[in-house]
Amino acid sequence: MTNYLDINPIIKKAIANNKPVVALESTIISHGMPYPQNKETALKVEQIIRDNGAVPATIAILNGKIKVGLTEDEIDYLAKSGTKIVKASRRDLPYLLSQKIDGATTVASTMIGANLANIRVFATGGIGGVHRGASKTFDISADLQELANTNVAVVCAGIKAILDLELTLEYLETFGIPLLGYKTNELPAFYTQKSGFDVNFKMDSAKAIANLLKTKWNLNLKGGVVIANPVPKDKELDFDLMHKVIQEALIEEKKLGIKGKESTPFLLGKVKELTKGLSLTSNIELVFNNAKLAAKIAVEMC
């Protein structure tokens, strides 16, 4: 495995000494926003994790290896390269690693890297899920199968609102993936605190969540856990506005024939355009919020 895994010495030491570590994805850097905002956001997320007692480990595919714990120069490289960097999910890993092509990790591939490094907590924006119209297209994010099989807890602001929330919840239930709501009974819908759907269990503290994670894995119940952390009230967007905007984005996507791995970046970009940048601002704030909670959970896990 050392041929394919490169763990930053700082991360390796923290793991060896049972210090709290939080994994972070890199697609949000290369595909999430323009330079230099993407670099500034990535570095601030890492600092929030440090401020809350944990060690950040941003993950990417670099120089033919899964790199766990990027340096500032490596984050800068991803940020400047932008969409020239391949968006890497599970299926892409063998190709990218064997061909020594750099890649930015999605939720699924970040979970794989974190699991290989023995990191159990991961902070992101929102998870992928079942796309609208999936009964015809079968477009379902690899994130869901990774959650069914990989022992990593994902702290997020819920399921990306551009997706079919109801079908995604059914998928999570089918594969026995617990959906926790942090101080809420209702699933947050990424940009908003409300969705109209319930979580499985409301959890009121990082300690309670950490105890649940330990219990799950001590029982050898394979798979991850989704920890839904609502966007802060003063940073959420209007529910009705977002519903309208997402519908417009979906119509445009269908008209252009955009499918597969290009779908989510297109929809998020279109939503950003239609909200005049408000969705991106909200997205950044919810990532900060998730990083803080993830660090607290990681501390309790240790």
Helix H, strand E, coil C: the string for 180-212 is EEECCCECCECCECCCCCECCEEECCHHHHHHH
Q: How many CB atoms lie within 10 A of CB 71?
A: 12
pLDDT value, residue 161: 87
Among residues 151, 159, 156, the alpha carbon closest in space to that of 128 is found at: 159
pLDDT value, residue 181: 98
Among residues 138, 66, 132, the alpha carbon closest in space to that of 105 is found at: 66
pLDDT value, residue 267: 82
Q: Do the beta carbons of residue 7 and residue 117 sit within 8 Å?
A: yes
Please give the Cα distance from 194 to 103 (Å, whole number): 34
pLDDT value, residue 70: 98
Helix (H) or strand (E) holding 227: strand 225-228
Q: Identify the segments of the chain with pLDDT beneath 50.
A: none
Residues 6+ apart with CB under 8 A from 133: 139, 164
CATH of domain 5-301: 3.40.1790.10
Which sequence positions are flagged as catalytic?
25, 160
pLDDT value, residue 85: 97
In the chain, where the domains are located: 5-301
Residue with tokens 């699991």: 115
263-283 burial by CB neighbour count: b if 16+ within 10 A, else e?
bbebbbbbbbebbeebbbebb
Please give the Cα distance from 141 to 226 (Å, whole number): 15
pLDDT value, residue 141: 93
Decide: helix, strand or coil at residue 47: helix
Please give the Cα distance from 101 to 44 (Å, whole number): 27
